[in-house]
Amino acid sequence: MLAVVLSEFVQSDYARECCNYCNIMPLDYGQVEGMFESLQRVDSKLVVKLKRSFEQRSVQLLDKLAKHLRARLPPGAIQRMEYVVGSPPSTRVIII
């Protein structure tokens, strides 16, 4: 179910706008791998690492993703999202 919801998100009009803004290769449009460097589900937590080109829009993008997850997943399926960024790594936690 999570894979379907993530696919919906990366194929959305908002994701296309982000791809255009961040100058993403057209072949990466609508692809989960085109936006995320890694995604890992650990129990009710989703650990997200965006591709470097999306880091400048990370706050807006992750807020939209959190809203999409809340709307499309059953309650409690994902309770929080952790965004890992940079070197040295830092983590931002978003409650779903």
Please, are residues 42 and 7 in contact by the beta-carbon 8 Å criterion?
no
| Host domain of residue 31 | 2-95
Mean pLDDT of 9-18: 94
CA distances from 37 to 4, 31, 54, 71, 75 (A): 17, 11, 10, 24, 26
Q: What's this model's pTM, rounded to 2 decimal places? A: 0.90
Mean pLDDT of the chain: 92
Contacts of 14 (CB under 8 A, 6+ apart): 64
More confident residue, 46 or 89: 46
Mean pLDDT of 59-83: 95
Partners of residue 36 on adjacent β-strands: 50
Count up the domains in the chain and report the number: 1
The CATH number linked to 51 is 3.30.300
Q: Would you give the distance in Å from CA 28 to the centre of its chain?
A: 14
Please, are residues 45 and 80 in contact by the beta-carbon 8 Å criterion?
yes
